[in-house]
Amino acid sequence: MTEIKRAAVLSAGSWGTTFGKVLADAGREVRILARRAQVADAINDSHTNPDYVPEVRLPDAVRATTDPAVALDGADLVVLATPSQALRDNLVAWKPLLDPAASVVSLAKGIELNTLLRMSEVIAEVTGIPTDQVVVVTGPNLAPEIAHGQPTAAVVACTDLDRAELVQRAVAAPYFRPYTNTDVVGAEIGGAVKNVIALAYGMASGLGLGDNTKATLITRGLAETSRLGERLGADPRTFSGLAGLGDLVATCSSPLSRNHRFGEYLGRGDSLAAAQRATRQTAEGVKSCRSIRDLAHRYHVEMPITEQVERVCYEQVPPSVAVRELMSRDMKAE
């Protein structure tokens, strides 16, 4: 496999734009696809994306376009940065423009509603690209911190270790340290479920609950994440790494997390619609709580926190009642 030179980043949101910066700082040429001309113009003319990554100057190697054919022309790395539930429809349009030999990176952290597929499965199904060409990048990666060059580590997961290493080299920047893993299932389940647990953690914050409650949510949240992941064939060790515990802690505890903030609004008594208006950017857990709950039912896995988050979001259950229900479950061994 030849070294990666040019990357297309499809979507110019918070993470897509920031990841474009990481790639440029790692030495790649980058073309970001924006939906709005105003966003593409700002990136090209003033090296900024004020809507999503304010106060950060993007490197000169980051260019933008609204034309997917221009973004994908000559790209040997294709980075998919749309929200999970929008990925399928967009991929259908982009498929004819993809180089069949390209490595395709998934950044989205969610499970598709109805099909209950992981993002790498959606990518393989829609594009026909073999699963060993699909790479998942995940970990404790809050975009605003990375955009400001604060150091973090990440996981580059692919069933083909050689390809994982190729992408690892392509994304390694002074402030972005990628580790390889061949456990794609674990990487994706860790990334998707932590958003749901962060909603619960945010609710606890909004309810004014303290650190014991929050530590309990993180620990038991990790337990239900691992239970689902292992049932789906993941390596249990993944969940104690960056894609599991690392991302869970970052997302739960950070006020920069959109899922955390969304949960906080709900905890304070706001409706789903009001929380949506207040957060604006994507909070994946709000949709994935339902698909993950359905996946858990399909595989007969107990996920009590996820169950309650879904009930708060869609069944008008007050967060305080959800807490009571979690606390009154049958006693059991840890």
Ligand X SMILES: NC(=O)C1=CN([C@@H]2O[C@H](COP(=O)(O)OP(=O)(O)OC[C@H]3O[C@@H](n4cnc5c(N)ncnc54)[C@H](O)[C@@H]3O)[C@@H](O)[C@H]2O)C=CC1
Ligand Y SMILES: O=C(CO)COP(=O)(O)O
Q: Which residues are annotated as catalytic?
A: 194
Please tell me the distance from the alpha carbon of residue 192 to that of residue 285, in angstroms, as a whole number: 7
Is 177 flagged in the annotation as binding?
A: no
Instruction: Write the DSSP symbol of residue 135.
Output: E
Q: 3-state class of 18 per DSSP?
A: helix
Q: How far is the CB of 87 from ligand Y (least distance, A)?
A: 15
Closest-by-Cβ residue to ligand X is 13
Angle between helix 184-206 and 119-127 (nearest 10): 130
Q: Is 151 exposed, middle or buried (0-12, 13-18, 19+ CB in 10 A)?
A: exposed
List 7, 9, 26, 142, residue binding ligand X (CB under 6 A) = 142
Q: How far is the CB of 21 from ligand Y (least distance, A)?
A: 16
Please tell me the distance from the alpha carbon of residue 216 to that of residue 227, in angstroms, as a whole number: 16
Binding to ligand X, residues 78-97 (CB under 6 A): 81-84, 86, 90
Is 195 flagged in the annotation as binding?
A: no
Binding site for ligand Y (CB under 6 A): 109, 140-142, 195, 198, 247, 250-251, 257-259, 284
Q: Select the binding partner of residue 75 from ligand X, ligand Y, none (C-beta < 5 to 8 A, by kind).
A: none
Q: Is 107 in the site for ligand X (CB under 6 A)?
A: yes
* Both tokens assigned to 193: 């479920």
Nearest to 114 by CA among 82, 81, 83, 85: 85
Q: Is 37 in the site for ligand X (CB under 6 A)?
A: no
Question: Cα 87 to chain center, whole Å?
Answer: 12
Please tell me the distance from the alpha carbon of residue 19 to that of residue 16, in angstroms, as a whole number: 5
Q: How many residues bind ligand X (CB under 6 A)?
A: 24
Binding residues for sn-glycerol 3-phosphate: 109, 139, 194, 247, 257-259
Q: What residues line the site for ligand X (CB under 6 A)?
A: 11-16, 35, 52, 81-84, 86, 90, 107-110, 141-143, 281-282, 284
